[in-house]
Amino acid sequence: MKMLFIYPDIGGNINFSPAIQILTACLKKDGYDADLIHINEKHGVPVDHDVIFSKVIEINPDIIGVTTTTFQYELSNDIAKNLKARGVKPLIILGGIHAIISPDDLGSSYFDAFSIGEAEKSLVELLRRLKTGGDIYTVKGFNFKKDGKIIQNGPPEVVSDLDELPPKDYELINVQKILTLRNKWLGTAFSRGCPYTCTFCMNHRLRETYKLSCSSSYYRCQSVDRAIGDILPIIEKYKDLIDVVDTDDDLLLSDKKWFFEFAERFKKEIFELYGIKYSLESRADLIDEEIVAKLKESGCELILIGFETGSEDLRNFLLNKNITDLQLINAFDLFNKYGLRSLAFAMIGIPGESVETINQSLKMLRRLKPTLIRQAIFEPFAGTPLFDYCKEHNMFTGNKVSANYYTASTIKLENLSSRELKLYQLLYPWYLNLNFVEKYEDEYKELINKYAGKSEEELILQEVKNDVLLNDEKISKILSDEGVQHFRYFENHTYYCLRN
């Protein structure tokens, strides 16, 4: 019995998939086989239906699972449509976040079923019934489509103790290739869930789904022993190809005792032996000097913080972040004091966004001076309070969700046109440098004016984006040669960095 996973990993660099790696480990533990088609425009299987189909035929699976976010849902549905049109017989299931937050899409999709929750136990049970000829249509955790009707079986049985799960499966993926393409950053995760209620985040919906089947805390974390034990074997095997362990966890700092034990173990068993560092995400209100000192000494390469917006009203009353300006300032001041590299997640195009709120964001980021800024265009996801807000206020344009956070908005703003939004998004580092790089402020104004009159259609042209990067490279070199601190583009248009 073999399951094939299809992973549409598009819109950026190639990635690990801890979720698939855990699922395949669970399947293999129970005696089932697994394979993977890793779709990536540049570095994996191309987005080509002929190639995908030929690989499916070659692998010859008994069941197919496609994992996807909302950004890749249209592509994933097209893959299922194409496979069925070519006569592929195995059951095709959609898993991942979109299947959980948008289960009603099953009826209009080309999938046979949606996995509507954490699938470690339910997927093993599904394959067991397929193998033995049991009734698959009653397996909890899946909604099925049969004879034109939708069968809903309720939430799955979930794992409350993550230490019970087998180690992630690294045999399924091309570890060496991915590490090389990711500049030696190993992606992993030690926890699940988040206790906070940010209105733009899908954790709100995931927490509700989880509580239907389990009374324990939605936030779960591996023990420190298990976390270190999970990454040590892969580090020992690929130590020359790993510089940073990149943790994809929301709140490892929420349990201070856990973090201090982890930091000490990581320092002694990994950082001091191999020189390998780690990154982690947190909230500004969890940061204090004791934590930052421990981050620095234990080998933290990068700390990532949800800044979102410089408008306290939007951040706290609309987004429900409950993070003050002072907490952000204190956190980033500590990062800068200890020489700890930081990244601020920023959003643009939030409901209520205006020139004034964008200027508040620019002003605050100049004050915080993060090493990196990753800016996203706001996207309201189904199942979140902000999705309901946008629907209630008739804000949706009808445009399809793009392949990533950086392309276009699907809502219309009352105080900002879509062209203005695109202009700010395209030229954000130059707007940051106004009132920041006083000596070259006129030059940045000229650069902004060069593009300010272009239409929205022109602003999204690749040749315009390339021209922006070329002009930025020229002025950045001048400032760097003079030792002038400034913001500039990093990795094309997806990040901005602070340079001297």
Stretches in the chain below the pLDDT threshold 50:
none
In angstroms, the Cα distances linking 55 to 13, 39, 93, 421, 458 are 22, 11, 17, 41, 39
Please identify which residue in the block is written with the tokens 């602003």.
Answer: 459
75: left (phi over 0), alpha (psi -120 to 50) or beta: alpha
User: Residue 6, SS3?
Assistant: strand
Instruction: Show the DSSP H helices in 73-199 as ranges.
Output: 73-85, 97-101, 120-132, 175-181
Decide: 300 and 338 in contact? Cβ < 8 Å: no
For 118-145, write each residue's pLDDT tens digit: 999 999 999 999 999 999 999 999 999 9
DSSP 396: B
pLDDT of amino acid 408: 73
In angstroms, the Cα distances linking 219 to 134, 255, 363 are 34, 11, 34
Please identify which residue in the block is written with the tokens 């449509």.
Answer: 81
pLDDT of amino acid 70: 86
In angstroms, the Cα distances linking 226 to 64, 174, 312, 447, 459 are 30, 23, 39, 52, 48
pLDDT of amino acid 403: 56
pLDDT of amino acid 212: 63
Count Cβ atoms below 10 Å from residue 191 Cβ, excluding itself.
Answer: 20
Instruction: Show the DSSP H helices in 239-351 as ranges.
Output: 256-266, 272-274, 289-297, 312-313, 325-337
pLDDT of amino acid 215: 59
For 438-467, write each residue's pLDDT tens digit: 999 999 999 999 999 999 999 989 999 999
All structural domains of the chain with their residue ranges: 2-152, 183-416
Please identify which residue in the block is written with the tokens 């996207």.
Answer: 379
Residues in the chain: 500
Query: pTM for this structure?
Result: 0.92
pLDDT of amino acid 169: 95
- 2-152 folds as Rossmann fold (3.40.50)
The whole-angstrom separation of Cα 452 and Cα 446 is 10
Decide: 124 and 30 in contact? Cβ < 8 Å: yes
Q: How far is CA 382 from the centre of its chain?
A: 16
In angstroms, the Cα distances linking 159 to 118, 219, 270 are 8, 12, 28
The whole-angstrom separation of Cα 244 and Cα 277 is 5
The whole-angstrom separation of Cα 102 and Cα 118 is 15
The whole-angstrom separation of Cα 157 and Cα 330 is 42
Amino acid (one-letter) located at 272: E
Which homologous superfamily is 183-416 in? Aldolase class I (3.20.20.70)
Decide: 283 and 305 in contact? Cβ < 8 Å: yes
Give the start-end residues of each E strand in 330-485.
Answer: 342-348, 372-377
